[in-house]
Structure 1
Amino acid sequence: HPDLLVASVEGQLMPALTVLRAVLPRDIAESVVRDYPEVLLRDVAELEKLPQSLADLGLDLEKVCRRTPRILLRDIVSIKKIYEFLLDDSQGPGLNQEQVLL
């Protein structure tokens, strides 16, 4: 991602990495950063809120990131819209929560 080349290490990249390591097991955090380094460009405050925001939806950040690490690239509003669509049986596929996690 080209924006990584001009991002501030101390001002942006390290704080994001610190938050990822705080909210996820180290192996998952490192895997996500290795596969999707642009996650370090995310707003630190949003990354900090993500575990609770997902918990409010009945989702566990660690479990979700093990299966779908790209979720860290999305903001919670987008995640919630997609999640609600997947659960909706009139407009969406009407999956149950367990199926959504698969």
Structure 2
Amino acid sequence: MLENRTSNHTVFSFHPGCFLKRECTDRGENLADLAKVLDCTLEMLEHVCAGEAPLTPEMAYRLQHHWEISAGLLIGAQRDFEAGLPWTIVDQDT
């Protein structure tokens, strides 16, 4: 993840695999079980989580049904990462 902090904004770029890895841990799941849900190999999912392989639209669709999270958001994050586009978050503390 690349981060650039300016005044009350944080601009960063991230691979959606970072999100997957953290979300999996937060939900008490493991990557092996998630790989079965996503119909991919554990090795492939590990590469996605490491940011070494893209999150595919098929994976995003399966995640949408498994975790009830927007497939469009995940696909958009992958597209923006590949294009080198940053995300901006306005800090609420300022």
Q: TM-score, normalised by structure 2?
A: 0.26
Q: TM-score, normalised by structure 1?
A: 0.25
